[in-house]
């Protein structure tokens, strides 16, 4: 079964750091571009970051540059998101999403169930 499973969320104090993980299975992870998308409570979807299959290129939402770092380990079929200097407005469910290949390139065709990050003192 093709799936991605996020982990690493939790309650963090403002100014703290967190590393989210996404474990992929059921597909050749190393050939797919990957993304992080977040959703604040009761709000819409917000694209956070993407990384190419070979890690050569990374992209970030303009408003989030500097505090977020996306990375991957193809040997471990894993995607990561390091978040530093956490703020209350970073409170959200963070989704890992696979970017489609071939005809469905650029589409986010596989999503995880999300991991909740709560920033509060």
Work out whether 37 is an interface residue with other proteins (CB under 8 A).
Answer: yes
Is residue 40 within 8 Å of 118, Cβ to Cβ? no
Is residue 33 within 8 Å of 47, Cβ to Cβ? no
Q: How far is the CB of 80 from other proteins (least distance, A)?
A: 19
- Nearest CA to 3 out of 95, 105, 116 is that of 95
Work out whether 114 is an interface residue with other proteins (CB under 8 A).
Answer: yes
Neighbours of 29 (CB within 10 A): 22
Neighbours of 118 (CB within 10 A): 14
Question: How many amino acids of this chain bind other proteins (CB under 8 A)?
Answer: 24
Work out whether 103 is an interface residue with other proteins (CB under 8 A).
Answer: yes
Interacting stretch for other proteins, rule CB under 8 A, among 19-27, 67-75, 79-87, 102-110?
102-110
Q: How far is the CB of 61 from other proteins (least distance, A)?
A: 5
Unique residue bearing structure tokens 């959703």: 39
- Nearest CA to 6 out of 15, 47, 19 is that of 19
Q: How far is the CB of 111 from other proteins (least distance, A)?
A: 4
Q: Which residues bind other proteins (CB under 8 A)?
A: 35, 37, 44-47, 50, 59-62, 95, 97, 100, 103-104, 106-109, 111-114
């Amino acid at each position: 079964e093709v799936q991605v499973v996020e982990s690493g969320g939790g309650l963090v104090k403002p100014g703290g750091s967190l590393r989210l993980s996404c474990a992929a299975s059921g597909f050749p992870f190393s050939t797919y571009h990957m993304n992080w998308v977040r959703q604040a409570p009761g709000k819409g979807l917000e694209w956070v970051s993407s990384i190419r299959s070979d890690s050569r290129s990374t992209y970030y939402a303009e408003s989030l540059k500097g505090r977020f770092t996306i990375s991957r380990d193809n040997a471990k079929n894993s995607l990561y998101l390091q978040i530093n200097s956490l703020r209350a407005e970073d409170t959200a469910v963070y989704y890992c999403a696979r970017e489609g290949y071939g005809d469905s390139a650029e589409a986010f065709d596989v999503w995880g169930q999300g991991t909740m990050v709560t920033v509060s003192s």
